[in-house]
Amino acid sequence: MALAITEDCVRCWACLPLCPNEAISAGAAGFDIDPQRCTECVGDFAAPQCGEICPAEGALVDAWGHALNPPGSLGGAPVAAAAPAPGPRPGC
Ligand code: SF4
Ligand code: SF4
């Protein structure tokens, strides 16, 4: 079994260096998981390392399409929430 990365990935790069099997790659089309390499971290960690670090809800799914971090589990994607609010900056 292997996990997969969906279009909800915000391309933050957080997961890539954590994978014990070098299954995650970053290409022009986005991030991808090699199903031949991904073991869902079984034997290496108690939980999938990519799922533990991923800040984007719905970005990682299992073989059945179930999100590791489903909508609402992280309170919304932190990357979007951290974006500065529109309006004049202090001192302007
Ligand atoms: S579940 Fe584990 S082995 Fe699979 S891509 Fe994520 S970090 Fe790599
Ligand atoms: S941690 Fe999540 S959002 Fe970041 S690159 Fe990996 S799959 Fe995409």
Q: Would the CB of 58 count as within 6 Å of ligand 1?
A: no
Ligand 1, atom 1, lies closest to the CA of 40
pLDDT in tens, 57-76: 999 999 999 999 999 999 87
Per DSSP, 51 falls in state: H
CATH number of the domain that residue 44 is part of = 3.30.70.20
Domains of the chain: total: 1
**Structural domain harbouring 46:** 1-77
From ligand 1's centre to the CA of 66, what distance in Å? 15
Model pLDDT for residues 30-64, shown as the tens digit of each residue? 999 999 999 999 999 999 999 999 999 999 999 99
Residue 83 lies in a domain: no
Distances (CA, A) of 37 to 13, 22, 51, 56, 89: 18, 7, 16, 22, 47
Please tell me the pTM assigned to this model.
0.84
The reply to whether 82 falls in a domain is: no
